């Protein structure tokens, strides 16, 4: 069952300058993103800083209004709602309950003046899901589900470590029984020994409650572990989209290959970074290069690459790539 269908989604941020705040340009944060997500499915979005992966997540939860494109939301009964032009009053409560978000930094995403109980209770009350007499029991149950003690409900966020705080944020997001959670770098701010705990927890919750995730991260290994399908983004564009296993077995876009080659090997006998010769840095999204966004850094550049932007073409049923090398 489909939850979201996204077509040609685009987000430009205006740059304003001068006394009259005239628009002098645009940050082209995201161009032409297409994908759909069904119940129980996890879509991974991977890319480096500035590639538009967070913009994508935030546009989907309607923190940002898209510049162009379509977002269709399917409610629990399967009815389709077009939410690209804002949330209609009748859709808002359904959508806001169905789609939740977990942020990167649990030191910023939890209100320091609220107790854990209040933090978790707020969305439940907003949606009127549990009578107040049963609230404390429900909060305890949620805390246990995410691996915390029910006694912690009395405490404040500053009393917890990063990993524990991320568990609180997860408890808050699952408190309203959402069908889709957008995880924006949920483990990046955590210590390595704690990261795996949080990933395991997210997986358990998926299996128990059939939650779908849009899992955004710069860490290719983590995205591979979590996702069914992966979108690789570069400078606002999806350059490759594939199932997770296929992407790792058969990376096709030169950027995906470079990204994989840049991950250290964890083996001192087999040092591989010295072979990586990807030059330059991602250009500014204000003035993206003409043609393929990756061409200034691409080792396989062709003549056409700086003239015309490659469109995404299918290599196989579940693998598509936007690169002129695969034009034939």
Partner 1 sequence: MSKILDVRDLKTYFRTPDGVVKAVDGISFEMMKGEILALVGESGCGKSVTVQTVMGLVKVPPALVEGQILYRDRNLVGMSNKEYRNIRGKEISMIFQEPMSTFDPLFTIGYQLTEVAKAHMEWDDQKTREEIISVLRKVNIPEPEKRYREYPHEMSGGMLQRIMIAMALITNPEIIIADEPTTALDVTIQAQVLNIMRDLQKEFDSSIIFITHDLGVVAELSDRVHVMYAGKIVEKALVSDLYNSPMHPYTRGLLNSRVKREYKGKKLPYVEGYVPRAHEFPKGCRFNPRCPHAMELCREQDPPEMSISETHAAACWLYGEDQRL
Residue ranges that bind partner 1, judged by CB under 8 A: 48-49, 161-164, 191-197, 199-200, 203, 218-219, 221-222, 224-225, 244-245, 248, 258-259, 261-269, 271-274, 276, 278-279, 281-282
Nearer of residues 57 and 282 to partner 1, judged by Cβ: 282
Comparing CA positions, the residue from 171, 168, 288, 212 lying closest to residue 43 is 212
**Smallest gap from residue 74 Cβ to partner 1 (A):** 27
**Smallest gap from residue 274 Cβ to partner 1 (A):** 6
Nearer of residues 269 and 303 to partner 1, judged by Cβ: 269
Nearer of residues 10 and 224 to partner 1, judged by Cβ: 224
Nearer of residues 131 and 264 to partner 1, judged by Cβ: 264
**Smallest gap from residue 29 Cβ to partner 1 (A):** 16
Nearer of residues 98 and 184 to partner 1, judged by Cβ: 184
The two three-digit tokens of residue 168, written as one number: 């609180």
Cα(68)–Cα(11) distance, integer angstroms: 7
What are the C-alpha distances in Å from 143 to residues 109, 119, 129, 132, 137? 17, 12, 17, 17, 10
Q: Could you tell me if 324 and 304 are in contact, meaning their C-beta atoms sit under 8 angstroms apart?
A: yes
Helix (H) or strand (E) holding 220: helix 220-226
Residue 40 is classified by DSSP as T
Residue 155 is classified by DSSP as S
**Helix-strand-coil split of the chain, %, nearest 5:** 35, 25, 40
Nearer of residues 123 and 163 to partner 1, judged by Cβ: 163
**Smallest gap from residue 128 Cβ to partner 1 (A):** 35
**Smallest gap from residue 135 Cβ to partner 1 (A):** 28
**Smallest gap from residue 203 Cβ to partner 1 (A):** 7
Cα(248)–Cα(244) distance, integer angstroms: 7
């Amino acid at each position: 069952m489909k939850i979201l269908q996204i077509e040609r989604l685009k987000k430009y941020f205006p740059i304003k300058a001068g006394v009259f705040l005239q628009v002098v340009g645009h940050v082209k944060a995201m161009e032409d993103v297409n994908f759909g997500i069904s119940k129980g499915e996890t879509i991974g979005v991977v890319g480096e800083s500035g590639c538009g992966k967070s913009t994508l997540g935030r546009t989907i939860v309607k923190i940002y209004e898209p510049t162009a494109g379509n977002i269709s939301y399917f409610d629990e009964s399967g009815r389709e709602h077009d939410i690209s032009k804002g949330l209609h009053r009748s859709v808002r409560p359904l959508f806001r309950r169905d789609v939740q978000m977990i942020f990167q930094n649990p030191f910023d995403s939890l209100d320091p003046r609220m107790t854990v109980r209040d933090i978790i209770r707020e969305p439940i009350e907003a949606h009127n899901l549990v009578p107040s007499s049963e609230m404390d029991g429900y909060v305890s149950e949620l805390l246990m589900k995410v691996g915390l003690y029910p006694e912690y409900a009395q405490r404040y966020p500053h009393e917890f470590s990063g990993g524990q705080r991320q568990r609180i944020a997860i408890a808050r997001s699952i408190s309203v029984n959402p069908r889709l959670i957008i995880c924006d770098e949920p483990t990046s701010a955590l210590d390595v020994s704690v990261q795996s705990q949080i990933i395991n927890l997210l997986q358990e919750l998926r299996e128990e409650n059939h939650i779908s995730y849009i899992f955004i991260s710069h860490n290719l290994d983590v995205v591979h572990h979590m996702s069914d399908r992966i979108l690789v983004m570069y400078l606002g564009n999806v350059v490759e989209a594939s199932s997770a296993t296929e992407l790792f077995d058969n990376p096709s876009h030169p950027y995906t290959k470079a990204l994989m080659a840049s991950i250290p090997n964890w083996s001192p006998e087999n040092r591989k970074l010295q072979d990586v010769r990807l030059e330059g840095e991602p250009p500014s999204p204000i003035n993206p290069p003409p043609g393929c966004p990756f061409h200034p850094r691409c080792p396989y550049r062709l003549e056409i690459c700086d003239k015309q932007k490659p469109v995404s073409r299918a290599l196989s049923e579940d693998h598509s790539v936007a690169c002129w090398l695969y034009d034939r």
